[in-house]
């Protein structure tokens, strides 16, 4: 009979594999957005809806999904949801109209929160005592790897074949985690603390949380806006650029993996969370300045700086949120997730609308202004009593 350590290792590999594959599906269309805009003759903001319709359900999940996900075995949830996701991806091969693409992405957005919730529950519940934080760290690293692979798959297969191919490939690939999940021996009930007006009000009564959430909303808006618009900017610089070349720019996204593991150590070296947050803002600011350039290689290198700043802030804020949460921890984290994805949903649409009517430089200046507001929110954390 396998030891407890062997079972944990096996289950962790299965869950991390499912996490990588599932997160890949979320970001497949991003490097293809200019191509899809051309194929279906739609605007940049309309093409951005393909990201928005997936982000919105993820933002709503902590509010609504708790009403029917509570106490459902995670393994059963994953088997059903991964199967539905595979069918959904294969259905993209039948699409001929843009509205059909949006509808299928909308269904993806409804399936993914259930998958992410179950995977996160598995990672936390199957870890031995004292290793929960490390297990969740593995999960975060797997989401980052999945985000990059999804973009790489979208770029590579749409360049070598057509835009349908990445979805078909990913749909067939989803059969791998679906098959592996049958061998996951650990199980867990999904613990999902529901959000209601009363619980949200109680959390937001703490000024610390208000500033943490405002920092998160502003910083992720800036980050998501750039990642969603950079394919259109590259297409503007060189109209012959391929989705594969565009997807290579997201290599800098991978910097988030080591940062997810070592952000706590870096924050300790800097002295406190505020300094860490300011460092992250500084890195994002340098990245935004770099995007005034039109040199692809320079932009690729600076993506490491830009993404590194964001992931450092994200890791620091998530740690600070849980450090502050002495009660209502489920509500605190649920709000964090909702704000994160709502901000991403808005950033995947609104900047594209502005970009169409003004210019790339206008967008960058607006985002720099928003980043400055984020820095002011960070400075207010001192007033909020973080040191006490």
The pLDDT tens digits for 287-299 are: 999 999 989 899 9
Counting beta carbons within 10 angstroms of the beta carbon of residue 43, is it exposed (0 to 12), middle (13 to 18) or buried (19 or more)?
Answer: middle
CB-side exposure of 197: number of CA atoms within 13 Å?
Answer: 0
d(CA 217, CA 76): 33
Q: How far, in Å, CA of 157 to CA of 35, rounded?
A: 12
283 pLDDT exceeds 80?
yes
The residue count for the chain: 388
- Smallest CA-to-CA distance from 299 within 219, 237, 346 is with 237
Judged against a pLDDT cut of 60, whether residue 388 lies above it is answered with no
Q: Helix, strand, or coil here: 96?
A: coil
Least confident of 90-94, 193-197, 239-243: 193-197
The pTM of the full predicted model, rounded to 2 decimals, is 0.84
Q: Cα–Cα–Cα angle for 361, 34, 239, nearest 5°?
A: 75
Average pLDDT of the segment spanning 374-384: 77
Domains detected in the chain: 1-192 (1.20.1250.20), 193-388 (1.20.1250.20)
């Amino acid at each position: 009979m396998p030891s407890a350590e062997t079972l944990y290792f096996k289950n962790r590999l299965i869950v991390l594999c499912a996490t990588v594959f599932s997160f890949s599906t979320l970001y497949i269309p991003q490097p293809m957005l200019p191509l899809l805009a051309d194929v279906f003759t739609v605007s940049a903001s309309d093409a951005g809806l393909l990201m928005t319709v997936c982000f919105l359900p993820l933002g709503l999940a902590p509010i609504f999904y708790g009403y029917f996900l509570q106490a459902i075995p995670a393994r059963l949830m994953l088997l059903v949801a991964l199967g539905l996701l595979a069918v959904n991806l294969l259905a993209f091969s039948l699409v001929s109209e843009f509205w059909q693409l949006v509808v299928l992405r909308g269904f993806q957005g409804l399936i993914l929160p259930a998958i992410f919730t179950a995977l996160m529950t598995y990672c936390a519940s199957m870890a031995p005592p004292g290793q929960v934080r490390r297990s969740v760290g593995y999960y975060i690293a797997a989401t980052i790897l999945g985000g990059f692979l999804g973009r790489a798959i979208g770029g590579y297969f749409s360049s070598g074949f057509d835009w349908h191919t990445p979805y078909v490939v990913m749909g067939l690939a989803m059969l791998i985690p679906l098959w592996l999940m049958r061998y996951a021996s650990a199980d867990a009930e999904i613990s999902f603390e529901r959000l209601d007006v009363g619980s949200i009000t109680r959390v937001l009564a703490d000024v610390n949380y208000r500033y943490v959430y405002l920092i998160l909303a502003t910083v992720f808006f800036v980050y998501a806006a750039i990642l969603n618009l950079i394919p259109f900017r590259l297409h503007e610089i060189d109209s012959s650029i391929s989705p594969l070349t565009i997807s290579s720019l997201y290599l800098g996204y991978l910097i988030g993996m080591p940062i997810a593991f070592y952000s706590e150590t870096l924050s300790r070296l800097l002295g406190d969370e505020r300094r860490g947050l300011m460092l992250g803002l500084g890195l994002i600011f340098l990245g935004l300045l770099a995007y005034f350039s039109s040199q692809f290689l320079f932009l690729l290198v600076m993506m490491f700086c830009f993404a590194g700043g964001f992931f450092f802030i994200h890791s620091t804020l998530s740690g600070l949120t849980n450090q502050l949460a002495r009660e209502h921890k489920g509500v605190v984290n649920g709000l964090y997730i909702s704000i994160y994805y709502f901000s991403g949903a808005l950033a995947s649409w609104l900047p594209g609308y502005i970009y169409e009517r003004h210019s790339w430089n206008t967008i960058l200046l607006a985002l720099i202004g928003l980043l400055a507001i984020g820095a002011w929110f960070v400075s207010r954390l001192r007033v909020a009593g973080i040191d006490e």
